[in-house]
Structure 1
Amino acid sequence: MAGIGKVIFRIMIAIIVILVLLIALIIGIGIAGSKITIAVTGVYTVGRISNDVILGCTFIPDTTQTNNIQWEKVGTSGVVYKYENGKSLLNDQNAAFKGRASLFLGEIINGNASLKLTQVKLSDAGTYRCIITNSKGTGDDTLTFKVGGYTSVSVSSPSNDTLRCSSSYWYPKPNVTWVRDSGANITNVTIKTSFPPALNNLTDVTTELSGAQLDVQYSCLIHTELAQAVGVSMLTEFGLQTTSELTVFNCTDPLAATYLSVWALLLCLLLGSTHH
């Protein structure tokens, strides 16, 4: 009997241990479940060399507690920027970002963790991670930051049948295209394009079309994967008419943006010509 009693006692102890473990597991799951993953959204960004830029990052804030923010650049040591317990902690900041990175401190409570970078360099391009931690939990997102050079285009007419498009400070070296009217092929013209070097590995662009006809619209497109400058021009008996636009491809479909910008410029020029 004593042996049976010991067996029953051991079984009961095992059952109790299992129950305790199950309860602990349930409690652990409950505690873990109270910590949610914060929704964080980073924004694809294109920056221009030597300009300032904002790398966008938004999140769901805790308006009653501190929201900690950490920015990192993938593949580099140290942090880009760190904000913790209401203070900026920059002891571990990567040397490349010292004095150039900042947050909009007054906007953190509204869920704005965007990072401002001043005097953008080519070396700043890369993948960045925005990490948010507060009483609600932790979340992060990555964004791609691309850097280039681009400026708007100016259009002139150095002779009666010649159109010239000029634009400065491009990187990488852009492609140049001329189109007629709504994209029709150009014939019986001569096109010459040059790329004079500029400072900081940038390049200027000058392209000329000779043999332009009166009252015909011509468009020069100076473009890279990051931006496009479009100049639309038309020689008339009243003189040269021009309009231009610079489009930066801060979107997922740069080709669509290209067509829209060209059509908008063509329409603008056409409406302007009807006023004579």
Structure 2
Amino acid sequence: MASIGQIIFWSMIVLIFVMAGLIILLLAIAFSVSQGSVVTNKPFPVGNLGQDVILDCKFQTKTSQVSSDVSITWQKDGLTGVVYQYQNNADHLQDQNPQFKNKVKLFPDAIHTGNASLLLRTVRMEDEGVYRCSVTASGVTGTVSIHLRVGAFSAPNITRSNNSLKAYAQRWLPKPDVTWFDQNGTQLKSSTEFYSIPMGIVQVMSDLQVQVTEGTYTCIIQNALVTAVSEATVRDNEVLTRTDFIFNSSPNIVTSHVIGTAFIIFCMLVY
């Protein structure tokens, strides 16, 4: 038979576990009620040199209304100071890193809808890196990371020449691969030359080395960051071109040229 001391001891142990469980439950409930979320739909954007890019950051609260006491801070890994800071309905740029002076802005009219995205003007190579968007407001607090990669890309101009096709793209970085396909997905013989211009950018000149007939031909220009899929439809003496850009979803995964191109052509044929 257990002694009174043992009964008291085990009762205290049970009570401690029960109290701990209640505390954990209350903390979980409080956290789920008070915390919203900070998210991004584009964690690995690609900036086109010399053009503007938007770093996507959204926040969601547990209530339908976003209060006015929103604090938004953008920082970049490896740099002192802030990229941009907003609080008390105003910009606070006294600690802004000089690299971003007059280069960045939020969208003030959209903050009340939960939009904390940052516009980065005239992208340069040094803008590449990991950015962190931190939001604190009533009902939400959190940080999300956005890894910006920078390169150069442009849609090719495809023309008919000597009963064949020629594609010219003004700027690509890194240097891409170029392949041509007919409307059945068969790879066609071609010749491509690259011409270097400042900042490591290359101009692309690619000649399709087969005679073309009426139909649709595809020129794919592809590097580790982006793939340009250009469909050239030949009708009589005109060429109608449409280009779609596909961005690599992760900086650590570079799709091989063979597998990536095969997948793109498969999708085109299914479509």
The verdict on a shared fold, with TM-score over 0.5 as the criterion, is yes
CA distance in 2, matches of 1:209, 1:202: 23
Task: Describe how 1:230-249 pairs up with structure 2 within 5 A.
Answer: 230-233=229-232, 238-249=236-247
Matched with 1:3 is none
Matched with 1:117 is 120
CA distance in 2, matches of 1:250, 1:110: 29
Task: Describe how 1:223-234 pairs up with structure 2 within 5 A.
Answer: 223-233=222-232
8 A Cα contact 1:56 1:115, kept in partner: yes
CA distance in 1, matches of 2:46, 2:233: 32
CA drift of 1:103 comes to 0.6
CA drift of 1:182 comes to 2.3
CA distance in 1, matches of 2:266, 2:75: 35
Greater shift in the superposed pair: 84-93 or 51-60: 84-93
Cα 1:167/1:67, change in 2 over 3 Å: same
In the alignment, structure 1 residue 193 sits paired with structure 2 residue 192 = yes
* Deviation by residue 1:130-157 (Cα, 9 ceiling, x = unmatched): 1011232521111222221111111112
CA drift of 1:208 comes to 0.6
Report the TM-score when normalising by structure 2.
0.75
In the alignment, structure 1 residue 153 sits paired with structure 2 residue 165 = no
8 A Cα contact 1:153 1:230, kept in partner: no
CA drift of 1:105 comes to 1.1
CA drift of 1:96 comes to 1.2
8 A Cα contact 2:185 2:265, kept in partner: no
CA distance in 1, matches of 2:97, 2:162: 54
8 A Cα contact 2:46 2:149, kept in partner: yes
Cα 1:64/1:228, change in 2 over 3 Å: closer
Matched with 1:6 is none
CA distance in 1, matches of 2:212, 2:248: 36
8 A Cα contact 2:37 2:140, kept in partner: no
CA drift of 1:218 comes to 3.1
Matched with 1:50 is 50
- Whichever of the two has the greater Rg, that structure is 1
Greater shift in the superposed pair: 250-259 or 101-110: 250-259
Structure 2: which 5+ runs fail to align? 1-11
Matched with 1:271 is none
CA distance in 2, matches of 1:149, 1:185: 25
Matched with 1:83 is 86
8 A Cα contact 1:39 1:59, kept in partner: yes
8 A Cα contact 2:224 2:248, kept in partner: no
CA drift of 1:31 comes to 11
What secondary structure sits across from 1:225 in the alignment? Answer: coil
* Deviation by residue 1:229-269 (Cα, 9 ceiling, x = unmatched): 33334666x324332313142757985994487459xx8xx
Matched with 1:141 is 144
Aligned residues: 240
8 A Cα contact 2:195 2:203, kept in partner: yes
Candidates 106, 127, 130, aligned match of 1:103: 106
What secondary structure sits across from 1:200 in the alignment? Answer: helix
8 A Cα contact 1:166 1:205, kept in partner: yes
8 A Cα contact 1:231 1:242, kept in partner: no
8 A Cα contact 1:38 1:132, kept in partner: no
8 A Cα contact 1:156 1:165, kept in partner: yes
8 A Cα contact 1:214 1:234, kept in partner: no
Report the TM-score when normalising by structure 1.
0.74
Greater shift in the superposed pair: 130-139 or 49-58: 130-139
* Deviation by residue 1:34-76 (Cα, 9 ceiling, x = unmatched): 6844300022222211111111111025633411000111222
Matched with 1:184 is 186
CA drift of 1:175 comes to 0.9
Structure 1: which 5+ runs fail to align? 1-14, 268-276
Aligned identity (percent) is: 30
8 A Cα contact 1:169 1:204, kept in partner: yes
Cα 1:31/1:151, change in 2 over 3 Å: closer
* Deviation by residue 1:66-88 (Cα, 9 ceiling, x = unmatched): 11000111222211111122221
CA distance in 2, matches of 1:213, 1:134: 61
